[in-house]
Amino acid sequence: MEVKVLTKHYDKPEYRSLEGYKKYGGYEVLKKALGMKPEEIVAQVKEAGLRGRGGAGFPTGVKWGFLPNNGEPRYLVCNADEGEPGTFKDRMMMEKAPHQLIEGMLISAYAIQSKKSYIYIRGEYMEPYRIVEKAIQEAYDAGFLGKNILGSGFDHDMDVYRGAGAYICGEETALLSSLEGKKGQPKLKPPFPAVEGYLRKPTIVNNVETLAAVVTIVKDGPKEYRKYGTEKSPGTKIFSVSGNVLKPGNYEVPLGYPLKDLIYNLCGGLKPGRQLKAVIPGGSSAPVLTAEEAERATLDYECLAEMKSMLGSGAVIVIDDSNCMVDLLKVIMHFYHHESCGQCTPCREGTGWLDKIVGSIYKGEGRLQDIQLVEQVSKHMMGRTICALSDAAAMPAISFVQKFRSEFEFYVREGRSKVKEVIANA
């Protein structure tokens, strides 16, 4: 069953406004947090074991702990540049509960003692941008932002920044580059953004869902939070289900929830007469799972890592047997080719190369060795670049080719898709 912790009041339209939000206990947690010591909040988040919901799954409390104590101004940046194909949870959160995000950011900012924060929203999200901008204005007017918030002596300013269409800006250092008004190209690590980030000052970048989850942790305490989820992946998470299911959408379930149940129970299963073929469990950059693996998988960081896939941003793309894997890989490769920032050579050239190889297979001009070449090129793109985009392109390529090799080989030999054949026969 769905467990609604974050999304509890999302079905109420008034939750979007400050008044409505306050009606359901909004900004009460902030009052509580401002009464605590910043270190206590960090400790609570650490104890709750909250892991980043943006894709990498890095423990949030640990990330906050990396901030150096050198007296430099600190920045908090909310990563709302949701670009991973299949993911649409942040958009919903910003549209339905902008104040939840602002409250989470305020608590986090207080915990890391930051005086200025930014919400970086992807350029295409015009509607959420307007909503968040309005919500911030409301919060300023109500005294939740600005100088001396709720009389605690804590000052904080918040601003929204709108991107302009680049998937790579979802990577934290690229996001910071973009925020500085540069091209959104990732920066070299080390130094990590917690040490040298926005304008070379210590900066924490967190996903929308992560920051919203901070509210529930501080509200109920880490023990209550740990009630859901598994030992290593505690809490609930919003999964964006899309693809060939009857009821696609966002579903909040505890981590460790079986993938099978998500697809068949919550999402209403597949279209009648269709068989499950594959599932991409964490956005297009996660390695694909076969139907058989999907039956076994549970939605937590560990299980999926064991299956050599990843939870990523929680975008579950369900693929039924009417889809040709060559076709889908071509779409995915085109996406990474289009979105590579062009900085590191293996990614810049590799994504283009993969796109061309898969494209030529799709056109029926492929050679048998091309299938192996896809694997080889992907292998040498992985872990060779500044950011993880080249891995993100390589992992689906490898997994598609390895897990559906016969389909690729058929395509190369016959110059047409096996799937359409099967469907026609049926």
Partner 1 sequence: MLKCKINGVEVEVKEGTTIIEAFKIAGQKIAHYCWHPGLSVAGVCRLCMVEIKGQPRLQIACNTPVQDGMEITNQSEQVKETVRWGLDFHLINHPLDCPICDQAGECGLQDQYMEFGLYTPEMAEPKVKKHKVVDLGSKIVLDTERCILCSRCVRFTAEVTKTYELGIFNRGDRSEIGTFENKPLENNYALNTVDICPVGALTSKDFRFRQRVWYLQERESICTGCSTGCNIKIYFNEEGLFRIRPVYNEKVNGYWMCDEGRNIYKFVNKENRLLKAKKGRKGEWLEMEGGAAAKDVAHHFKSLDKERIALVVTGQFSNEEYEALFQFYKKNVGNDFVYHWINNKESFEDFDGLLLRGDRNPNTKGLLQKLEDYRYEQTWAHLEENLKAGKIETLIVAGPENPLWFPDLKEKVQQWGIQLSHLIWLSSAKVQAVDEVECLTWQIPLKTFFEKDGTYVNYQGLEQKSHRIATIVPGALSLSEAAHLMAGEEYKVDMAPILKGPKKNYYVHRRGYL
Partner 2 sequence: MFELSKEGVEFVKKEMQRYETKRSAIIPALYKVQEENGGWVSPECVTYLSQLMDLPEVWINEVLNFYTMFNKEPVGKYHVQVCCNVSCAMNGGRELADHLCKELNIKDGRHSEDGRYTLSRVECLGSCGTAPMMQVNDKYYENLTKESAVQILKELP
Residues of the shown chain interacting with partner 1 in the complex, contacts defined by CB under 8 A: 166, 183, 188, 190, 337-346, 348-353, 356-357, 359-360, 367, 369-370, 373, 380, 383-386
Residue 318, token pair as written in the block: 């369900």
**Closer by beta carbon to partner 2, 44 or else 407:** 407
Does position 307 bind partner 2 by CB under 8 A?
Answer: no
| Min dist. Cβ of residue 300 to partner 1 (A) | 24
**Closer by beta carbon to partner 2, 368 or else 422:** 422
Within residues 251-290, the interface with partner 2 by CB under 8 A covers 280, 284
Amino acid at 139: A
N-to-C CA span, the chain: 35
Per DSSP, 278 falls in state E
Q: What is the C-alpha to C-alpha distance for residues 202 and 255, in angstroms, rounded to an integer?
A: 31
Q: What is the C-alpha to C-alpha distance for residues 309 and 375, in angstroms, rounded to an integer?
A: 16
Helix (H, G, I), strand (E, B) or coil at 211: helix
| Min dist. Cβ of residue 91 to partner 1 (A) | 24
Cβ neighbours for 280, distance < 8 A, ≥ 6 positions apart: 86, 286, 288, 289, 315, 316, 317, 319, 396
Does position 210 bind partner 2 by CB under 8 A?
Answer: no
| Min dist. Cβ of residue 186 to partner 2 (A) | 13
| Min dist. Cβ of residue 346 to partner 1 (A) | 5
Binds 161: which of partner 1, partner 2, none (CB < 5-8 Å by kind): partner 2
**Closer by beta carbon to partner 1, 238 or else 344:** 344
Name the pairing type of β-strands 315-320 and 276-280: antiparallel
Binds 32: which of partner 2, partner 1, none (CB < 5-8 Å by kind): none
- From candidates 19, 39, 72, 127, binder to partner 2 by CB under 8 A: 127
Binds 380: which of partner 2, partner 1, none (CB < 5-8 Å by kind): partner 1
Residues for the chain: how many in total? 426
Question: C-alpha dihedral over 107, 112, 117, 119, to 10 degrees?
Answer: -70
Does position 133 bind partner 2 by CB under 8 A?
Answer: no
Residue 353, token pair as written in the block: 């190369």
Residue 317: phi and psi, rounded to 5, are -110, 115
Binds 179: which of partner 1, partner 2, none (CB < 5-8 Å by kind): partner 2
Helix (H, G, I), strand (E, B) or coil at 161: strand
Q: What is the C-alpha to C-alpha distance for residues 281 and 241, in angstroms, rounded to an integer?
A: 9
| Min dist. Cβ of residue 249 to partner 2 (A) | 5
Q: What is the C-alpha to C-alpha distance for residues 183 and 351, in angstroms, rounded to an integer?
A: 19
| Min dist. Cβ of residue 400 to partner 2 (A) | 12
Q: What secondary structure, in 3-state letters, does 344-385 show?
A: CHHHHHHHHHHHHHHHHHHCCCCCHHHHHHHHHHHHHHCCCC
**Closer by beta carbon to partner 2, 45 or else 241:** 241
- From candidates 16, 63, 162, 219, binder to partner 2 by CB under 8 A: 162
The kind and range of the H/E element at 207 are: strand 203-207
Q: What secondary structure, in 3-state letters, does 242-257 show?
A: EECCCCCEEEEEECCE
| Min dist. Cβ of residue 341 to partner 1 (A) | 5
Does position 125 bind partner 2 by CB under 8 A?
Answer: yes
- From candidates 27, 88, 225, 362, binder to partner 2 by CB under 8 A: 88
**Contact status, residue 225 vs residue 29, Cβ threshold 8 Å:** no
Under the rule (CB under 8 A), what is the footprint of partner 2?
82-88, 90-91, 122-127, 159, 161-167, 178-184, 198-199, 240-244, 248-250, 280, 284, 315, 317, 319, 323, 327-328, 331-332, 335, 338-339, 341
